[in-house]
């Protein structure tokens, strides 16, 4: 029997049900879109000590529920792309059980492939076709595609519809990648760092597009290095490091209840002091009395609530985190 990992327990406890949010009571809980148990994948690595196998994915358990946006986070080399490409059926695995839309991606056929959409990390070779031709040609591979013009509009490329794809800017190419990933009306959409190179406005409209797809019933599995993107979009996130899960849960609950406790910092001479407290106003009043010169300012005062990025940096042991505390809360 497979032990119940933290991610699975979180999944049961923190279930997000968008159908009931829209007032449609599901007859029974929807099956998982993705279920992974004990996934392992190593690569041969040549180092000073000779050739050895290095684990990129080291016993991963994941459950992605239908209709949710699920973000896979982790530093460079954590194993995100390896995991996603195994789920997409583009990479083989050494061990583990994997079910994607009810099938094993290593054996699934064409019909299964038409049910998933993929936006890879690297743009494919775009050749001589125009934006309109590429989206139209891709749509023909699918049984029930979205109208290509609608998709091109959704990704903001209407004014470039007659432009050759290879003449697009980096951010526009990325939008075309997204268009090609969604034109087949996928039940499950994989987005591997989809907004790299987007300007802030394009990123915002992409977020609206993705939440719209989720509200239409699609499941989305996202990797991103933009923590504010995960915080905005994801119903649940999993943080992986060196191929293993280090935390799982909704973005605003990640790291446990204390992780988002407001942080008061100030300067004592050259040294920055930290105090985590649920009562920052009281703490600042006390500092004004004890630390500031009469009628003066508290040196270097900041009051912040740690963001997902702060919590994430703590989790992966970056050492630059601002959520650390060097002062106990005084009562």
- One residue of 7, 33, 39, 56 binding ligand ATP per CB under 6 A: 56
Q: Where are the alpha helices (DSSP H) in 163-226?
A: 170-182, 200-215
Query: Cβ atoms within 10 A of the Cβ of 140, count?
Result: 10
79 is a site residue for ligand ATP (CB under 6 A): yes
By beta-carbon proximity to ligand ATP, the closer residue of 82 and 172 is 82
194 is a site residue for ligand ATP (CB under 6 A): no
Instruction: In angstroms, give the least distance from the CB of 315 to ligand ATP.
Output: 15
Number of residues that bind ligand ATP (CB under 6 A): 10
- One residue of 37, 65, 80, 175 binding ligand ATP per CB under 6 A: 80
213 is a site residue for ligand ATP (CB under 6 A): no
First-to-last alpha carbon distance for the chain, in angstroms, is 47
- One residue of 5, 63, 66, 82 binding ligand ATP per CB under 6 A: 82
Residue (of 79, 121, 251) closest to 36 by Cα position: 79
Task: Give 212: exposed, middle or buried? Use CB within 10 Å, 0-12, 13-18, 19+.
Answer: exposed
What span, in angstroms and rounded, lies between the C-alpha atoms of 271 and 32?
50
Instruction: In angstroms, give the least distance from the CB of 241 to ligand ATP.
Output: 9
What span, in angstroms and rounded, lies between the C-alpha atoms of 105 and 101?
9
Residue (of 246, 259, 258, 256) closest to 311 by Cα position: 259
Handedness of CA 204, 217, 98, 15 (dihedral sign): positive
By beta-carbon proximity to ligand ATP, the closer residue of 56 and 60 is 56
- One residue of 34, 62, 69, 78 binding ligand ATP per CB under 6 A: 78
Binding string to ligand ATP for residues 22 to 51, with x set by CB under 6 A, is what? ---------------------x--------
Residues forming the site for ligand ATP (CB under 6 A): 43, 56, 74, 76-82
């Amino acid at each position: 029997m497979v032990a119940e990992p933290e991610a699975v327990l979180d999944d049961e406890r923190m279930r997000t049900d968008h159908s009931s949010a829209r007032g449609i009571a599901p007859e029974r809980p929807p099956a998982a879109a993705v279920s992974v148990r004990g996934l392992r994948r190593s690569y041969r690595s040549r180092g000073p000590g000779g050739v050895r196998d290095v684990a990129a994915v080291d016993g991963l358990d994941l459950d992605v529920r239908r209709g949710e946006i699920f973000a896979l986070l982790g530093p460079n080399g954590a194993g995100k792309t390896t995991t996603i490409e195994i789920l997409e059926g583009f990479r083989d695995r050494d061990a583990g059980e994997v079910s994607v839309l009810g099938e094993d991606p290593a054996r699934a056929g064409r019909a299964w492939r038409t049910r998933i959409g993929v936006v890879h990390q690297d743009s494919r070779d775009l050749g001589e076709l125009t934006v309109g031709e590429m989206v139209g040609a891709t749509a023909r591979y699918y049984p029930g595609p979205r109208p290509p013009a609608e998709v091109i509009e959704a990704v903001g490329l209407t004014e470039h519809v007659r432009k050759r794809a290879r003449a697009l800017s980096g951010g526009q190419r990325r939008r075309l990648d997204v268009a090609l990933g969604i034109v087949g009306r996928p039940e499950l959409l994989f987005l591997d760092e989809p907004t790299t190179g987007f300007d802030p406005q394009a990123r915002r409209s992409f977020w609206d597009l993705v939440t719209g797809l989720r509200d239409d019933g699609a499941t989305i599995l996202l990797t991103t290095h933009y923590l504010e993107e995960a915080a905005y979009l994801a119903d649940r996130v999993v943080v992986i490091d060196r191929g293993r899960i280090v935390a799982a849960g909704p973005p605003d609950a990640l790291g446990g209840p204390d992780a988002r406790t407001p942080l008061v910092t100030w300067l004592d001479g050259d040294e920055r002091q930290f105090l985590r407290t649920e009562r920052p106003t009281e703490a600042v009043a006390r500092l004004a009395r004890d630390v500031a010169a009469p009628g003066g300012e508290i040196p270097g005062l900041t009051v912040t609530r740690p963001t997902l990025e702060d919590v994430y940096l703590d989790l992966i042991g970056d050492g630059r985190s601002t959520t650390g505390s060097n002062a106990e809360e005084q009562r």
